[in-house]
Structure 1
Amino acid sequence: MKPLFRPIGLSTLFVIFSFARSFGQQPAPATEAQKGAYQYRKAAYDGIGKTYLGREISQVMGHLGAAWLERPEREQEERTDLLLEALNLKPTDVVADVGAGTGYFTFLMAPKVHRGKVLAVDIENEMINDLNQARKKKNATNVEPVLGTITDPKLPANGIDMALMIDAYHEFSHPREMMTNIVRALKPGGRVVLVEYRAEDPSVPIKPHHKMSIAQATKEMKAVGLTLKSVYKKLPQQHVMIFQKEMP
């Protein structure tokens, strides 16, 4: 995820920072297992030319966009306080913050799961370095940075109570593989929480490929065995969509 313009607040029409890191601009050819899941076409201005279940995957924002993740106005613009409440975290929860970036939300969750932990997953070494430095500075002993890959977040099987993705899932270049591995990591009754800018609302000042609708997200989660359980609608511009693994 990297910047095109410098955003100055929600009163200004800004675009999500876009940058082609290793999995952005050059999608890999489909493997035999992927055939039928992905298609390729000429890329839109904010897409990568690779589609999944009818959605073109967006370009990404990398470590050079880190300042935007930590902008002072983020709490008010996104009401991260309300999001934290909506997660209903338990002290013993093991939470995966997938696409953690600088750990903005990782370190908000850590005190809430003081008898559990937060696995802060990112695929860029620069972000992992930032997370490790912040963990030491904040003495957040229950935060564990995890270097994942474009297909695997490297989470323990049956090891997490919740996987949280904040404005990240739409950028995954291999969403089927990533979500399959995330579902494998869920404990029984575990949750996947997607936070995405509302595609249904044209007034949300975000580039189109960086938004998702409830219908599209539900379709993509169903493909890996997840069912939509609830949608939290109190955030100014984002959906909070909560999914659970379908039971046999």
Structure 2
Amino acid sequence: MKLKLVLFFVYFSCCFSACHPQQNDAVLKSTAKKPDYTIGKASEDGIGKFYLGREIAHVMGASGSDWLERDDRDKEENTSLAIAKIQLPVNGVVADIGAGTGYYSFRLAAKVPQGKVYAVEIQDEMIALLKNKKQQLKDSVVDIIKSTVLSANLPPNSTDLAIMTDVYHELKYPAEMLRSIYNALKSDGKLLLIEYRGEDASIPIKALHKTTVAQLNKELNANGFKLSFKGDFLPIQHFLLFEKIKKPSDKAE
């Protein structure tokens, strides 16, 4: 597993370099107007934009679709257990944000046969893959939604659970996206983050693609969420469930 993961991130570092040339300084500075965003020197795997002290990682491109659907993903990450631990009523509404190929989306659909899964994705290539898979599976539960860097584009007060699997650390505008998710969640709605454990140096994932509970708490607390459940049962990832506590502050606007 370690060799595969290391090779994967070496490969995608090359993809990022090709797909994300040096960003224009004026563009970067324009994103630093909010007090919690700062601009600094970009690391090999980052965009040079920081949120509450954490550098934001490059987005994985659609060329990684095969890796998302690899045969041994369940063995490496125990995705079956992660999905089993997700509690939803049969008529629940769940949003898979950064859905990618729909690996989680279509598996979650089986848990809400009378409900809905929003597969939220920003990349056109991934959206095409989602539409093709939906057609192949003859699915009637998953709705595909195109997001923006600022918003998940979900209906307000519509969602029981939003989930991001190895996605949050790549959000270019985390505060704005969290506000969008906050507004989409019902009053008792939850947000689940599944992220590689940044506290564990033995996990062979590059630093910007791992996160710590302390940093996630800092960022989520600043945007109206608090940690309600911390699961330590996955091999290499955090399973963190957040609930709404208050309306995000004006400084996140």
TM-score (norm 2): 0.89
Q: Summarize the Cα distance change of 1:37–1:170 in structure 2 as closer, same or farther, 3 Å threshold.
A: same
Q: Summarize the Cα distance change of 1:24–1:122 in structure 2 as closer, same or farther, 3 Å threshold.
A: farther
Q: Distance in 1 between matches of 2:60 and 2:207?
A: 15
Structure 2: runs of 5 or more not aligned: 248-253
Compare 30-39 and 217-226 and name the one that shifted more.
30-39
Q: Distance in 1 between matches of 2:186 and 2:198?
A: 30
Shift of 1:89: 2.0
Q: Distance in 2 between matches of 1:24 and 1:208?
A: 21
Q: Which amino acid aligns with 2:72?
A: E
SS of 1:212's equivalent in the other structure is: coil
Aligned residues: 240
Q: Percent identity?
A: 43
Correspondent of 1:10 among 2, 8, 26: 2
Q: Distance in 2 between matches of 1:26 and 1:111?
A: 42
Q: Distance in 1 between matches of 2:147 and 2:34?
A: 23
Q: Distance in 2 between matches of 1:104 and 1:24?
A: 29
Q: Summarize the Cα distance change of 1:25–1:126 in structure 2 as closer, same or farther, 3 Å threshold.
A: farther
Q: Distance in 2 between matches of 1:24 and 1:100?
A: 25
Q: Distance in 1 between matches of 2:33 and 2:126?
A: 28
Structure 1: runs of 5 or more not aligned: 1-8
User: Does structure 1 residue 132 correspond to structure 2 residue 124?
Assistant: no
Query: Which structure is higher in helix share?
Result: 2
- State how 1:56-95 maps to structure 2 within 5 Å: 56-95=55-94
Q: Distance in 2 between matches of 1:84 and 1:135?
A: 19
Shift of 1:140: 1.3
Q: Summarize the Cα distance change of 1:54–1:80 in structure 2 as closer, same or farther, 3 Å threshold.
A: same
| 1:120–1:143 contact (8 Å) kept in structure 2 | yes
Shift of 1:35: 2.0
Q: Distance in 2 between matches of 1:161 and 1:13?
A: 32
Deviations 1:76-135 (A, max 9, x none): 100001101111122111100000000011111001111111100110111111101100
Q: Summarize the Cα distance change of 1:181–1:34 in structure 2 as closer, same or farther, 3 Å threshold.
A: farther
Report the equivalent of 1:245. 244
Deviations 1:165-197 (A, max 9, x none): 000000001101111101010001100000000
Report the equivalent of 2:109. 110
| 1:66–1:101 contact (8 Å) kept in structure 2 | yes
Compare 86-95 and 172-181 and name the one that shifted more.
86-95
Shift of 1:10: 3.1
Q: Distance in 1 between matches of 2:204 and 2:33?
A: 33
Q: Which amino acid aligns with 1:104?
A: Y
| 1:162–1:192 contact (8 Å) kept in structure 2 | yes
SS of 1:105's equivalent in the other structure is: helix
| 1:24–1:48 contact (8 Å) kept in structure 2 | no
Q: Which amino acid aligns with 1:180?
A: R
Report the equivalent of 1:96. 95
Report the equivalent of 2:214. 215
Q: Distance in 2 between matches of 1:23 and 1:107?
A: 30
| 1:24–1:59 contact (8 Å) kept in structure 2 | no
Aligned-residue CA RMSD in angstroms? 2.0
Report the equivalent of 1:155. 154
Q: Distance in 1 between matches of 2:81 and 2:70?
A: 18
